[in-house]
């Protein structure tokens, strides 16, 4: 059977988290390094969806550990495989970042008056612009000169940031993600948007063939960014720009200290709700 179809029809576990919704952002950030596919906010907290592939013990151990620090309860429900893409599409609405950029699916009508319009069909990959982190990175990208630059999109998800970099005049973009569905989705969305200078890679940083990047976009999560700072520093040209996101307000000082220790100077910080994005300069 086709692997994409298997993922499409995969069984899931839904973990219903009952908590003060004010805790949603930080709990989701702390759980984002686990193999949950998506999170859905509810009136009583949020739902976290985990593929039924044997990772339940790891997820539940982490949830129980977090209960020692945060006040919440959780229940697990098994959900038989269904057409998840069809469900996602029915709930997918266009994203508008000022007049700078709009993001829509191919079944939406074009939006007038936008400087850049991207068509992103999310499938099972993360990064449509709906999440605060992607939105904030796009805001930061508005103030960066991409013309004739070499760019790395680390943790590319749907490829939305790589495709926007292409639209903004980048010379070439390497887009890498450890998830095979993100790799496939980036290929598809790059083709839809005519971004022929985006090269998608299924793998990790050491699989990226390029080096001496002018700009690196890293919208992943706190732990991956912290673990990768040394490698990202080496991949950047002197005076190159690193944009990081995927961490919450409580991690701002940790992230700032780690970036500065590695040799980056923070130029700009964007906040949307409890999530942050930072633009930094390689100065060390």
User: Rounded CA gap, 152 and 165, in Å?
Assistant: 10
Mean pLDDT of 191-210: 94
70-84, 196-210, 251-265: which range is least confident on average?
Answer: 70-84
Q: Comparing 1 with 266, which gets the higher pLDDT?
A: 266
User: Rounded CA gap, 106 and 128, in Å?
Assistant: 13
> How would residue 279 be classed by pLDDT, with cut points 50, 70 and 90?
very high
Mean pLDDT of 37-64: 85
> How would residue 90 be classed by pLDDT, with cut points 50, 70 and 90?
low
Q: Give the chain as a 3 state SS string.
A: CCHHHHHHCCCEEEEEEEECHHHHHHHHHHHCCCCCCEEEEECCEEEEEEECCCCHHHHHHHHHHHCCCCCEEEEEEEECCCCHHHHHHHCCCCEEECCCEEEECCCCCCCCCCCEEEECCCCCCCCCCCCHHHHHHHHHHCCCCCCCCEEEEECCCCCHHHHHHHHCCCCEEEEEECCHHHHHHHHHHHHHCCCCCEEEEECCHHHCCCCCEEEEEEECCHHHHHHHHHHHHHHEEEEEEEEEEEEEHHHHHHHHHHHHHHCEEEEEEEEECCEEEEEEEECC
Task: Report all structural domains of the chain as residue ranges with CATH numbers, in order of start.
Answer: 3-82 (3.30.70.920), 88-282 (3.40.50.150)
Tell me which residue of 131, 127, 130, 133 sits closest to 248, measured CA to CA.
133
Q: Output the average pLDDT for the chain.
A: 87
Model-level pTM greater than 0.85? no
Using one digit for the tens of pLDDT, what is the confidence trace for 227-264?
999 999 999 999 999 999 988 888 999 999 999 999 99
């Amino acid at each position: 059977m086709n692997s994409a179809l298997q993922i499409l029809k995969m069984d899931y576990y839904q973990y219903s988290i009952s908590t003060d919704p004010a805790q949603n952002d930080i709990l989701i950030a702390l759980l984002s390094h686990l193999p949950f596919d998506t999170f859905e906010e509810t009136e009583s907290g949020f739902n976290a969806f985990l593929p039924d592939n044997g990772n339940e013990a790891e997820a539940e151990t982490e949830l129980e550990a977090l209960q020692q620090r945060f006040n919440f309860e959780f229940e697990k429900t098994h959900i038989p495989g269904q057409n998840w893409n069809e469900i996602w599409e029915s709930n997918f609405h266009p994203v508008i970042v000022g007049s700078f950029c709009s993001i829509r699916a191919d079944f939406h009508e074009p939006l007038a008056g936008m400087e850049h319009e991207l068509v992103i069909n999310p499938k099972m990959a993360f990064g449509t612009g709906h999440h605060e982190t992607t939105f904030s990175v796009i805001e930061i990208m508005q103030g960066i000169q991409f013309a004739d630059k070499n760019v790395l999109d680390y943790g590319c998800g749907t490829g939305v940031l790589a495709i926007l970099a292409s639209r903004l005049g980048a010379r070439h973009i390497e887009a890498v993600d450890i998830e095979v569905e993100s790799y496939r989705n980036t290929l598809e969305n790059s083709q839809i948007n005519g971004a022929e200078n985006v090269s998608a890679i299924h793998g990790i940083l050491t699989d990226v063939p390029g080096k001496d990047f002018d700009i690196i976009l890293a919208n992943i999560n706190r732990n991956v960014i912290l673990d990768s700072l040394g490698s990202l520093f080496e991949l950047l040209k002197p005076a190159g720009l690193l944009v990081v996101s995927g961490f919450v307000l409580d991690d701002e000082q940790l992230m700032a200290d780690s970036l500065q220790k590695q040799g980056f100077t923070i130029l700009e910080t964007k906040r949307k709700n409890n999530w942050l994005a930072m633009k930094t300069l390689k100065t060390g």
